[in-house]
Amino acid sequence: MFSASRSSLTGTIRSATHVVKRWKSIEVTLRANVEGLGKPGDVVNVSAGRMRNRLYPFRLANYIDKNAQNFRQAAEADKNAAQTAQEMNKVYQQTIKKEQRILQLQELRNRLQALPALTFSRAVNEVLPGSKTIFGSVQAEDVIKELKEKHGIVVDKVTVNGTKIKSIGDSWARVDLGDLGTVELKVVVERR
């Protein structure tokens, strides 16, 4: 009855009654909700005739410009490269700051090691003969204050023998230098 032959050269299908052209589908970006296709922003394939006759005239979809896509991809690649460069710069700056901090701590350690013994004078409890117990112990805050006022050295963390020095004689204090460990300082408590 009907005979159909395919012609690969013309891209048409021939039947006994009429010739039907096969339309190539194209990609478009939807600007509005289109039933059966999708929502705004979706990239869908539609026939060229549907786009030309229905979607484009009613501003329901836009043609996709391949050059614009390439431009967007290149812009995104540039953005990613710039972000990577910023991250690398940030890591570099952090490394420099860390190295500077280490140099400062090394200089502080050298200054602390060169210090003479820190001397404090306190009143001795003389109720018992030969007693070495003092009134007003020497604490970490006293050592920090002494370093700042007499030697111009500012430190954050100091621990003394136990928590307080409560008797006359020689003792020690440790200054915490973070990554570089601690420095021991000799502390001498004398009779006032």
The domain locations on the chain are: 5-66, 110-191
> Which pair of tokens denotes residue 83?
């972000």
Fold of 5-66: Ribosomal Protein L9; domain 1 (3.40.5)
User: pTM (2 decimals)?
Assistant: 0.52
Phi and psi torsions of 169, nearest 5°? 125, -170
pLDDT band at residue 17 using 50, 70 and 90 as cut-offs? low
pLDDT at 71 over 80: no
DSSP bridge partners of 34: 38
CATH superfamily of 110-191: Ribosomal protein L9, C-terminal domain (3.10.430.100)
Q: Please name the amino acid found at residue 28.
A: V
pLDDT at 67: 75
> Which ranges of the chain would DSSP assign to H, the alpha helix?
48-50, 66-113, 140-151
The 10s digit of each residue's pLDDT in 128-165 is 777 788 888 888 899 999 999 998 998 888 888 778 88
Question: Which of 29, 33, 10 lies closest to 20, judged by CA?
Answer: 10
Task: Kindly report which listed range (49-63, 120-134, 135-149) carries the lowest average pLDDT score.
Answer: 120-134
